[in-house]
Amino acid sequence: PRPRFKPPTVQFAQRLASNERPIRSKALKKLRKYINARSQRASDGFTGDELLKLWKGLFYCLWMQDKPLLQEELSKQISTLIHSFNDTDKQLLYLESFLLTFKREWTGIDRLRMDKFFQLVRFVFRQTFEALKRKNWESSAVSKFLEMLTAQLLQSSSEAPCGLQLHILDLYLTELATVGSAELTADQNLTFIDPFCKTAAKTKNQTLFSAICRSIFSTIIDQAPFAIEDLMKEVKAAEASEEDETQIKGTNFASMTCLCVLQFDYAALADKLFELARRNSTPGQNRQRLYKVIKVLRDLSEGRNLLSSHLHCQTWQLFLIFSLCSLLSLWNSYS
């Protein structure tokens, strides 16, 4: 009898999950070319089922990889596959298949392997934001991304593992800032956190609610002094645009060495949260905690708390410098 023909995606998945690294590496290189070639044909796009098969192979490709530097390189290669799809819908289908795969496999990841999968999740979101950036943050593409993220991660019906939810919440603003802080406006940034605002106002999952408050709202509040400082540097850079080139170069270098932070309209965010929190459908416990967040945001919008926040940041910087000096002194005494 004739051997049964295996679809290309199944063949790729099997080779990507091979025990032998050369086979896995070769399969990944061929997969990139295959996706590029197939994406050029408008009538031959990938289906969700095909991408799920590929992601199962990619998941076990990383599972089999040891040594941190090789794991990091592999995670970069896997995450940048999203750019091989030339259509936003297919890029988001690739991301959706990734989330579905990780939701299915998450509880089976052992403690020793967890770090490399944490890293892959971070890189995939970074490259997703990069893909949106290459589309000039087109509003329709951003909306589709946020709808998919809500459905797969935040809705109670999504059945997303708690650990995966918390990790994505932790990295979300950091990776968005890394890719888009220089371009995104306060209005656009508000759009990017809209799903978390809505979820915070309706979820009965207190673990998820607390994680959103900590990773999204508290991060925005804690970074307010840096955001103001960043904005002032932009103003100074604009004022110095007619000065000599060396001064301008100095300004640019200073802003590059700063922490990447996103600009927010604190009053607009407070208004959005207030409208959501005051609804009858919002659980009482959530409402009370959101009102506290709103109070801080209103203070920030009116210029209050910024000085104390700035002094708090400076205190922490001095503490870290002192700790580092102490460690170096201790190290020198032992050496």
> Cα–Cα distance between 192 and 259 in angstroms, integer?
19
| pLDDT reported for residue 218 | 95
Closest-CA residue to 209 (of 159, 296, 283): 283
| pLDDT reported for residue 255 | 38
Would the pTM of this model clear 0.85, i.e. be above it? no
Angle between helices 114-134 and 139-149 (to 10 degrees): 150
pLDDT tens across the length of the chain (335 residues): 555 678 899 999 999 999 999 999 999 999 999 999 998 886 778 999 999 999 999 999 999 999 999 999 999 999 999 999 989 999 999 999 999 999 999 999 999 999 999 999 999 999 999 999 999 999 999 999 999 999 999 998 889 999 999 999 999 999 999 999 999 999 999 999 999 999 999 999 999 999 999 999 999 999 887 765 665 565 566 555 555 444 434 434 333 334 689 999 999 999 999 999 999 999 999 999 999 999 999 999 988 655 454 445 544 454 455 555 555 665 555 55
Task: Pinpoint the alpha helices (H) of 203-283.
Answer: 206-212, 218-222, 224-239, 245-257, 266-277
| pLDDT reported for residue 118 | 98
| pLDDT reported for residue 224 | 85
| pLDDT reported for residue 303 | 80
Closest-CA residue to 286 (of 191, 218, 220, 210): 210
Residue 315: other Cβ atoms inside 10 A = 10
The model's pLDDT over 277-300, given as tens digits with 9 standing for 90+, comes to 999 999 999 999 999 999 999 999
The model's pLDDT over 20-37, given as tens digits with 9 standing for 90+, comes to 999 999 999 999 999 999
| pLDDT reported for residue 226 | 72
Closest-CA residue to 217 (of 203, 191, 197): 197
| pLDDT reported for residue 258 | 47
| pLDDT reported for residue 311 | 44
Match 């990139």 to its residue by tokens.
Answer: 32
